[in-house]
Structure 1
Amino acid sequence: MTCKFNKIGIIGKPNDLSITVPVTCLIHLLESLNCIAMLDEGTARSLSINDIPCYSREQMGQSCDLLIIIGGDGTLLDAARSMSDYEIPMAGINLGRLGFLVDISPDKMERTVTEILNGEYIDESRMLLEANISVDNTNIFSAKALNDMVIHKINVARMIEFDIYINEKFVYTQRSDGLIISTPTGSTAYSLSGGGPILHPSLAAIALVPICPHTLTNRPIAIGADSEIEIRFNKGNFEGIQISCDGQVNRQITEDQTLRIRVCEKTLTLLHPTDYDYYHILRTKLNWATQNYE
């Protein structure tokens, strides 16, 4: 069989020995298909795998033409951020709980991975967000997120006050526990728990979802993906404010800093099985009611 992809990177959930067997089986499958398996060095280290070559994320980004993620959605979120500059398509094998992003079941791994390598898949483009913190117009911190960016207090149950500007136009002043800025991908995560809308992945939109706003009329709003969001904080509320990217990367913000968030220029390509159905995933994961019309 002539494979569409030749060099396959493998990234697994860190410090989880339960992925040892799936990782090993995947490597053997790829080798049987005459593909080159490139195991992430962090994954190899956490599983104590020493008998096959392992590679840094940078080496994988420069060489791989496909990445296979083994774990849960959190594992794919981490991989998406670290590998986004290389624009390598990703497929995910679900060993976690929800599995909105990693949608290949372990019992169908061999068949589905073989189909993907043979060019039988559904591809889907997902946007990422980029946050930049600057002082006097000098950027001092940048981070990306596939799901969301959350502004909140650190370890203190107090409201914060801030002004929101979109494309340099004032929107409103908000007093709340924080703000969720979500992509369509993240609209089924923390944003959904906060009362935000579900955005189809094909929409070029960003959702701004207040966390427990003081004014009940301060509702979620969806804006265009070409928007730049600027957050200006009330200086009396600065102690202990941070931005959290996908719940995995955190950075404290001080009063002399400016926070701007926009959509990344580069996107993530997800590869799904040929029977992928977004609405079926919503019904299954969110336990929506169904009616049998047969």
Structure 2
Amino acid sequence: MSTIGFLINPTKVGEHSQGPALVTQAIEGLTSRGQQVLVNEEAAPLVAGAGQPSTESDLEERVNLLIVLGGDGTILHGARLAAGRIPVLGVRVGGFGFLAEVNLEDLAGVVDRLAAGRYEVEERMMLQADVERDGMRLQRFLGLNDAVVTKSGVARVLRLTAWVNDELLASYPADGLVVSTPTGSTAYSLSAGGPIVHPRLEVIIITPISPHTFNARSVIVSRDDRVTIELPAATQDARLTVDGQVGYPIEAGDRVVVQRAVQTTKLVRLVRTSFYSILQAKLAWGGR
């Protein structure tokens, strides 16, 4: 018997007309096939006692497969929770997203394969972002999409300096700087004008946000490079945000050091889908 975890966005599933019933059906299908099922405690009331209510720490420590129901934000949260160890199946509950593998309406139909472990795992590169002050590491974050340094508070320009392996890359007067993985290239980096990069590649993408100069461009560097963002002494009210969810205030003179993480995200794949067909569907790219 294996243990399967459900990390459910209760708002999205609760707003879906058949959401609770479809999730309950999938959980009951797994338990009837001999699987132990844990459900994040915030969403347990939605599934009428199906599955065992559990903390996220329990999910992280006990499950062999994590099924995440919601949008890309929920899947990103699940990816950080499961990083490097637990395969993650993203289940789309409405909305727009690149990371989900199946729709909620189709989840019950793949229960047999999940219970038997008949699926492939696609590994995605992750980033680690360290906040350093006076040569000491204050905090480390892990992300699947990106690490973003932006201003906070009043609207004004940041002056950021970016280094690659201790070699000066550029100084940016800009609203911020995005350092992303290929998976994150279709997220904030894309909206800031960055390139779309196939998610199976392993590179790091550096993209300024609304630069106040005509010659600032995205730069793609090696997966083995280390990107350091420095804030000058006059900087105030800046912030590091990882995957659009985890935030940390940074001060004048701080350094944010971003590099490839040892951990990877293990995404469950049930069908072979072309990345280019996903782009056509999600970005509404028409044919000739």
Q: TM-score, normalised by structure 2?
A: 0.92
1:289 aligns with 2:286: yes
> Counterpart of 2:163?
165
1:2-17 to 2 correspondences below 5 Å: 6-16=2-12, 17=14
Bigger mean CA deviation after superposition, 88-97 or 118-127 = 118-127
Letter of the structure 2 residue corresponding to residue 117 of structure 1:
A
Q: Is the 8 A contact 1:73 1:96 kept in 2?
A: no
Letter of the structure 2 residue corresponding to residue 253 of structure 1:
I
Q: Give the Cα separation in 1 of the matches to 2:210 and 2:270.
A: 38
Q: Give the Cα separation in 1 of the matches to 2:3 and 2:40.
A: 13
Shift of 1:82: 2.5
Equivalent position SS for 1:80 = helix
1:121-132 to 2 correspondences below 5 Å: 121-132=119-130
Letter of the structure 1 residue corresponding to residue 144 of structure 2:
L
1:250 aligns with 2:247: yes
Over 3 Å counting, the alpha-carbon distance change for 1:113 and 1:53 in structure 2 is closer
Letter of the structure 1 residue corresponding to residue 250 of structure 2:
I
Equivalent position SS for 2:83 = helix
Shift of 1:202: 1.1
> Counterpart of 2:24?
24
Deviations 1:227-251 (A, max 9, x none): 1111111222x21110111111111
Shift of 1:21: 2.5
Deviations 1:128-151 (A, max 9, x none): 111111223222111121111111
Shift of 1:51: 6.6
Shift of 1:55: 1.7
Letter of the structure 1 residue corresponding to residue 24 of structure 2:
T
Q: Give the Cα separation in 1 of the matches to 2:211 and 2:119.
A: 42
Shift of 1:44: 2.2
2:275 to 278, 289, 292: 278
Q: Give the Cα separation in 1 of the matches to 2:123 and 2:244.
A: 22
Q: Is the 8 A contact 1:72 1:94 kept in 2?
A: yes
Shift of 1:50: 5.4
Over 3 Å counting, the alpha-carbon distance change for 1:193 and 1:81 in structure 2 is same
Q: Give the Cα separation in 2 of the matches to 1:138 and 1:43.
A: 39
Equivalent position SS for 1:251 = strand
Q: Give the Cα separation in 2 of the matches to 1:102 and 1:26.
A: 17
Q: Is the 8 A contact 1:69 1:76 kept in 2?
A: yes
Equivalent position SS for 1:143 = strand
1:91-130 to 2 correspondences below 5 Å: 91-130=89-128
Q: Give the Cα separation in 2 of the matches to 1:92 and 1:230.
A: 32
Q: Is the 8 A contact 1:40 1:57 kept in 2?
A: yes
Aligned residues: 284
Where structure 2 has 5 or more consecutive residues not aligned to the other structure, the ranges are: none
Equivalent position SS for 2:172 = strand
Q: Give the Cα separation in 1 of the matches to 2:110 and 2:34.
A: 17
> Counterpart of 2:80?
81
1:143 to 133, 141, 144: 141
Shift of 1:23: 2.5
Q: Give the Cα separation in 1 of the matches to 2:226 and 2:94.
A: 34
What do you get for the CA RMSD once the two structures are aligned?
A: 1.9
Q: Is the 8 A contact 2:24 2:47 kept in 1?
A: no
Equivalent position SS for 1:127 = strand
Where structure 1 has 5 or more consecutive residues not aligned to the other structure, the ranges are: none
Bigger mean CA deviation after superposition, 9-18 or 201-210 = 9-18
Q: Is the 8 A contact 1:184 1:201 kept in 2?
A: yes
Q: Give the Cα separation in 2 of the matches to 1:51 and 1:273.
A: 24
Shift of 1:120: 3.5
Deviations 1:147-185 (A, max 9, x none): 111111113221110111111111111111111111111
Deviations 1:31-81 (A, max 9, x none): 122111111223326x48557522222222222111101111111111112
> Counterpart of 2:38?
38
